[in-house]
Amino acid sequence: MDDAERAAFLESRRILTVASHSADGTIHLVAMWFFLDPDGCPVMWTNGRSQKATNVRRDPRVTAMAEAGDDYFELRGVSIAGRAELIEGFDEVLAIGRRVTARYDLGTPEEFLIHQATKRVGIRIVPEHVTSWDHAKLALANPSLGVS
């Protein structure tokens, strides 16, 4: 996928699977709601004491992936390896909460968002390496595969 296709694909996905490093070396893997900021960086919010926030404070390296497709020639995805930036200011966290809930059309009351923003942090993933795939292009490039 080119940059525009990657951005469009990510905008179309509801879940971003995010992996961070636990203290014991294992990978902590979670499904997150997110949006893309103007720079194309995924942004989400989480409880400030969550495992993912704890991991990012200690080691900001993360990998995130969005994927789609059931059959082989439908498989598409974007994987982002990068560094997570924690956002801890109340106003910024509240703004992230508003964007996340608006994207998912949750109709969340403002009072709830304000309360949540007091105990949450934002996470912004700054990509260092992006990989993408679209297996439909494989079928198009090689008609002998017998896939229409």
> Structurally, how many domains does the chain consist of?
1
In a domain, 145, yes or no: no
Contacts of 67 (CB under 8 A, 6+ apart): 13, 17, 75, 76, 77, 78
In a domain, 108, yes or no: yes
Q: Report the predicted TM-score, pTM, of the whole model to 2 decimal places.
A: 0.90
CATH classification of the domain holding 24: 2.30.110.10
In a domain, 76, yes or no: yes
- Give the structural domain span for 127: 3-140
Q: What is the pLDDT of residues 6-61, one digit of tens each?
A: 999 999 999 999 999 999 999 999 999 999 999 999 999 999 999 999 999 999 99
Cα→Cα distances 84→26, 43, 46, 87, Å: 17, 9, 13, 10
Q: What is the pLDDT of residues 78-136, one digit of tens each?
A: 999 999 999 999 999 999 999 999 999 889 999 999 999 999 999 999 999 999 999 98
